[in-house]
Amino acid sequence: MAPWDYPDFDDHEGVHLFRDAASGLRAIVAVHSTALGPAAGGCRYWRYARSADAVTDALRLSRGMSYKNAMAGLPMGGGKAVILADEGAAKTPTLLAAFGRAVESLGGRYVTAEDVGISDADMVAVSKETRHVSGLPVGGGAAGGDPGPFTALGVYLGVRAAAKRALGRDDMAGVRVAIQGVGSVGGGLARLLARDGAKLVLADVDTARAEALAAELGGEAVPADAILGVEADVVSPCALGAVLTADTIAALKAPVVAGGANNQLATPEDGWRIHQRGIVYAPDYVINAGGIINVGLEYLGQGDRAEVEKRIAEIPGRLDTIWEESKATGDPAALVADRLAQRLIGRG
């Protein structure tokens, strides 16, 4: 099937397939939009059941990056790369170099970075073959490096804004926040909230990880399959996508859902479901933009860590704009965010 026949094809500007027989590389780079600048988005190294699933992932994720970068106010478009982690495609320096040459061949239309399965050390290997890389380790005070803590900071500010809107709270003392997944983003969020005296309920499929963090921060750990339905003021999905479904939305007890995971809504209808329950929902690509703001400014050479933090501090204002428009129009926050993003990239 040609890329434009996929359900997730959305007038992508380009879908590029790469093959390097010597290293076993098979990669797809999807460029959704360069209307605002070079198409930026990470590279995922993942084992797909079918190569068609890899194309779908690249199409969907690259569109998401267009929306995320536009809403973050970055002069960057949206793109995404996936490397098929098949038998015979081990993540060797040779394979990463071949991927770097593939990125370079696009002449800067696509800028890569880390995503699932790719570390900053991998990006260093890629950077030997192309300049169009971000998320490289940086010295103190500079923009760039591991995006996780910056994503966590933006999510923290977004959670506070959502708590203010739904609960009228100016501070987080005693506010009960349930976090699903306590890795880089969820763990960072938990630490920031603990400083404010929030009551933490933590869950991770790695139960030891959730228990250790709960013990350290004075929270409570619960089983991973129970977290979305616990009694809480805020539920914060910080693990996988597609966790908000008809069933999990019906079981939510919290008046706020605000977390860092990408693609939290399983379907667009779930945006309506969460809205119809009167839950304040923070659209994921708006609240979790801290990491891309960090690596975007690194690539663009625009400012230092203080500038990154200043831009991340704008996330709550963007969420307020979305919630206000949602209230005025009666449309779900997720739909309002998509509309704003589409307008920004000239597709509204």
**Known catalytic residues?**
80
Nearest residue to ligand NAD by CB is: 183
Least spacing, CB of residue 329 vs ligand NAD, in Å: 27
The secondary structure of 200-248 as a DSSP string is: EEEE-SSHHHHHHHHHHHT-EE--GGGGGGSS-SEEEE-S-SS-B-HHH
User: By CB under 6 A, which span of 45-53, 88-96, 176-184, 340-348 interacts with ligand NAD?
Assistant: 176-184
Least spacing, CB of residue 178 vs ligand NAD, in Å: 11
Structure-token match 């539920």, residue found:
235
User: By CB under 6 A, which span of 92-100, 102-110, 201-209, 228-236 interacts with ligand NAD?
Assistant: 201-209
Binding status of residue 185 toward ligand NAD by CB under 6 A: yes
Burial of 220 (0-12, 13-18, 19+ CB in 10 A): middle
Binding status of residue 229 toward ligand NAD by CB under 6 A: no
Q: State in Å, rounded, how far the first CA of the chain is from the last one.
A: 28
Question: Which of the residues 121 through 140 are near ligand NAD (CB under 6 A)?
Answer: none
Q: Spell out a b/e string for 8-30, using b for 16 or more CB atoms within 10 Å of the CB, else e.
A: bbbebbbbbebebeebbbbbbbb
Binding status of residue 205 toward ligand NAD by CB under 6 A: yes
Near ligand NAD by CB under 6 A: residue from 23, 69, 180, 326:
180
User: By CB under 6 A, which span of 16-24, 27-35, 81-89, 199-207 interacts with ligand NAD?
Assistant: 199-207
User: By CB under 6 A, which span of 58-66, 145-153, 161-169, 323-331 interacts with ligand NAD?
Assistant: 145-153
Least spacing, CB of residue 121 vs ligand NAD, in Å: 16
Output 36 or 182, the one with its CB closest to ligand NAD. Answer: 182
Longest dimension (CA), the chain: 59
d(CA 297, CA 241): 26
User: By CB under 6 A, which span of 2-10, 75-83, 125-133, 174-182 interacts with ligand NAD?
Assistant: 174-182
3-class secondary structure, 96:
helix
Near ligand NAD by CB under 6 A: residue from 24, 148, 219, 255:
148
Near ligand NAD by CB under 6 A: residue from 3, 24, 64, 291:
291
Report how far apart, in Å, the C-alpha atoms of 261 and of each of 51, 136, 170, 180, 289 are. 24, 22, 25, 9, 11
Output 190 or 279, the one with its CB closest to ligand NAD. Answer: 190
Nearest to 6 by CA among 50, 39, 36: 50
Percent of the chain that is helix, strand, coil (3-state, to 5): 45, 15, 40
How many residues make contact with ligand NAD (CB under 6 A)? 25
CB–CB of 139/298 below 8 Å? no
Task: Classify residue 117 as left (phi > 0), alpha (psi -120 to 50) or beta.
Answer: left
d(CA 144, CA 297): 7
Near ligand NAD by CB under 6 A: residue from 121, 240, 246, 250:
240
Output 82 or 185, the one with its CB closest to ligand NAD. Answer: 185
Near ligand NAD by CB under 6 A: residue from 142, 224, 242, 300:
224
CB–CB of 338/274 below 8 Å? no
Residues lying near ligand NAD in the complex (CB under 6 A): 147-148, 151, 180-186, 203-206, 209, 224, 238-241, 260-262, 288, 291
